[in-house]
Amino acid sequence: MTGLVRKATLLTACGMLVAAAVMAGVPSPINSTKPSYIDVVGTNSGVPDPYGTFTIVVRDLGSNPIANSQVVLDFLACTDMNLCGDAVAGQTLDCPTRTVRGFTDGTGSITFTVVGAAKNLGAAAGPGAGCVNILADGVSLIHATATEIDENGAISTNGVEVTDLSAWLKDLGTGFYFGRSDFNHLGSVDIVDLSVWLGRLGTGQSASGCLSNIYCL
């Protein structure tokens, strides 16, 4: 019996080692660093507004960083906004699939800035929270909420300017939640979000919107 117990213990240990080896390199949603909100921004003469810059770190179940992992930001469910047709350096834009993607570096990190605009002329239909599916090597890390500093640039005036305020105020007046207008990332649309928007207007860093004024459909 002792021999059988030893064999069983050895087989169990081997199985655990094999399982660990298989799971190594598989992205872990729990251990990876990812945003719960993505601020979609404009540009200033073609330079993306740094306010929208964020970093994702992909790690496996052992919290080891995964190099050369393909990270995809899937905006397909964000029906109230369009991505800018101008690709940002270091990122791959695919208009038909409404995705932005890239590969992690040796530390498992990748930095994005997403340029685009909403299609909101005032209380327009759109998703609430979690319309952006962030994936690493096909594994969903989180469904993030997308805010759009330029509320109407995809269908009206390109860039962040005063007409965006009118659209935001109509969102506020409905009493419903629109992720696009939750600029302070607190899960509601209220007057505090306005102060954040006014700050972005004042910087002028999203004033140009999409430089080409061409948005993905």
Question: Could you state, in order of their start, the residue ranges of all structural domains in the chain?
Answer: 27-203
Q: CA nearest 116: which of 210, 13, 214?
A: 210
Q: CA nearest 206: which of 173, 161, 160?
A: 160
- Predicted TM-score (pTM) of the model is 0.89
Sequence-ordered strand ranges (E) for 95-191: 99-103, 109-113, 116-118, 132-136, 139-148
Q: What does the pLDDT look like over 97-132, one tens digit per residue?
A: 999 999 999 999 999 999 999 999 999 999 999 999
Q: What angle do CA 147, 157, 169 make, to 5 degrees?
A: 50
* DSSP H stretches of helix in 24-121: none
Query: pLDDT means per 10 residues in the chain (217 residues)?
Result: 51 41 80 98 96 98 98 97 95 97 98 97 92 98 98 96 96 95 97 96 96 92
Q: What does the block give as tokens for 62?
A: 């052992």
Residue 160: strand, helix, or coil? coil
Q: What does the pLDDT look like over 47-58, one tens digit per residue?
A: 999 999 999 999
